[in-house]
Amino acid sequence: MTICEIMALAEKHAAWAIERRRDLHRVPELDWDLPKTSRIVTDALDEMGIGYSRIRTGVVALIQGKGPGRTVGLRADMDALPVTEPDGCPFGSTHPGRMHACGHDVHTAVLLGTARALLECDFPGQVKLLFQPAEEADGGAEPMIEAGCMEDPHVDEVYGLHVMPYLPAGHIECREGALNAASDLVDITVYGRSGHGAYPDQSRDAIVCAAQLVTALQTLVSRNVSPLQTAVLSMGTIEGGTANNVICGQVHMTGTLRTLSPELRAFLKDRICQAAQGVAQAMDCRAEVRLVPSYCALINPPQYARGVLDTARELVGEDRTHVKEASSMGAEDFAYYLLHAPGAFYHLGCGFEGQENAPLHAAGFRVNEDCVQYGIAMQTALTLKALGRR
């Protein structure tokens, strides 16, 4: 199938997909609690005659091609955010305090539109449609994979996308190697000994110790990591104390660690523990450190990222195809699919040309729905190319 034919297919099914996107946008749901969202997806699959199974509120559908062949997986995350949507959208959220402020409604609609397009294509093998919950929460990718979504049949290549408002609709962005960072929760409790504020010598001040520790932690990246590498350590909360005249005996703080390589991730986790225990010991206090891993780094295998960029150039042209210069320190659980099959993750422009577009996760986030057509075209073209490979 030619690029022109793929673009025509995408244009043909874009209006239907946009209607599904608006249906999804009206009913934003969180984490794994996606009954209405899943129902919209399964109703659309029923309409198309595509069989599916469920993993909790996740949906795994399979499109059978003509004859044996490879299996390509396409993933769309479905969950929304606890954000209040401003008035004014004609298909705005009907769930107070919840909004599709990260564009997962678009991802899901694009995948449904891609399914409609693929039903009109001749190809060997099969295509798995992975509708995943909980990307914004504790991560739905790993439970989906553990439940077998990448097997029976085994997925040979896997692709995913994310809308980006800083790119106008019709623009595509990807990069080889690290695209998104690994993330870890940093949870530290400093234990001192409380006492009267008038007699500090009889206490061990956990607040002073915690202040020294925060300062020490801020030097871990600047003085332990090469300027040619990238890492972020940010402390986000700190709590302690009960009264103005009582020396605090316990302080609790939390933060986030973001890294792009497994080696640097392990190194900084060790250094965080060493710094916390060393500073606490020096101030006659004690520190407990808990490091809770979240998503691993998303690493695009070079040849598959190049394949995405080559496909984008064919579809939208050289001037609207971009190599992302630097990795994002944000996390993305599509990374786990890439541990089980090669493929790539890329960015789909959804911004309005010549306007200042609100960022992801903001209440003012808006989508230029022209992006849906390009998403369908990209996913269809990548799938057909992958199925045509040996």
CA 73 distance to own-chain centroid = 17
Residue linked to tokens 């993305």: 332
CB atoms within 10 A of CB 124: 12
Same domain, 28 and 168: yes
Radius of gyration in angstroms for the set of CA atoms belonging to the chain, rounded to a whole number: 24
Q: What is the pLDDT of residue 94?
A: 98
Q: What is the pLDDT of residue 41?
A: 98
Q: What is the pLDDT of residue 390?
A: 72
CATH number of the domain that residue 33 is part of: 3.40.630.10
Please give the full DSSP string across 177-240, using - where no structure is assigned.
EEEE-EEEEEEEEEE-B-EETT-GGGSB-HHHHHHHHHHHHHHHHHHHS-TTS-EEEEEEEEEE
Cis peptide before 301 (omega within 30 of 0): no
Same domain, 27 and 128: yes
Same domain, 320 and 280: no
Cα–Cα distance measured from residue 285 to residue 288, given in angstroms and rounded to the nearest whole number: 10
pLDDT in tens, 310-328: 999 999 999 999 999 999 9
Residue linked to tokens 């020096």: 282
Same domain, 253 and 163: no
Same domain, 142 and 162: yes
Burial 217-249 (b: 16+ CB within 10 A, else e): beebbeeebeeeebbbbebeebebeeeeeebbb
Question: Which among 293, 327, 347 is the end of a domain?
Answer: 293
Same domain, 82 and 8: yes
Q: What is the 3-class SS of 240-299, one letter each residue?
A: ECCCCCEECCEEEEEEEEEECCHHHHHHHHHHHHHHHHHHHHHCCCEEEEEEEECCCCEE
Same domain, 314 and 379: yes
Is 332 an annotated catalytic residue? no
Same domain, 9 and 48: yes
Cα–Cα distance measured from residue 142 to residue 337, given in angstroms and rounded to the nearest whole number: 8
Q: Which residues contact 75 (CB under 8 A, 6 or more apart)?
A: 111, 130, 132, 141, 158, 159, 160, 334, 337
Same domain, 34 and 128: yes
DSSP-derived 3-state class of residue 16? helix
* Contact (Cβ atoms closer than 8 angstroms) between residue 295 and residue 339: no
Strands 157-168 and 343-351: parallel
Which two three-digit tokens encode residue 313?
């150039």
The stretches in the chain having pLDDT less than 70 are none
Cα angle, residue 117 at apex, residues 114 and 123 outer, rounded to 5°: 105
Is 136 an annotated catalytic residue? yes
Question: Which among 293, 327, 356 is the end of a domain?
Answer: 293
CB atoms within 10 A of CB 148: 11
Among 224, 313, 228, smallest CA distance to 272 is for 224
Same domain, 21 and 63: yes
CB atoms within 10 A of CB 193: 16
Task: Tell me how many domains the chain contains.
Answer: 2
* Contact (Cβ atoms closer than 8 angstroms) between residue 341 and residue 158: yes
Domain with 278, as residue range(s), is 187-293
Same domain, 170 and 153: yes
Q: What is the pLDDT of residue 1?
A: 87
Q: What is the pLDDT of residue 282?
A: 97
Among residues 23, 105, 136, 184, the one annotated as catalytic is 136
CATH number of the domain that residue 267 is part of: 3.30.70.360
φ, ψ of residue 229 in degrees (nearest 5): -110, 170
| Sign of the C-alpha dihedral computed for residues 132, 314, 355 and 329 taken in this order | positive
Same domain, 248 and 200: yes
φ, ψ of residue 24 in degrees (nearest 5): -65, -40
44-51 contact pairs (CB < 8 A, 24+): 44/20, 44/112, 44/115, 45/112, 45/115, 45/129, 48/115, 48/116, 48/119, 50/115, 50/119, 50/129
Question: Which among 269, 293, 317 is the end of a domain?
Answer: 293
Predicted TM-score (pTM) of this structure: 0.93
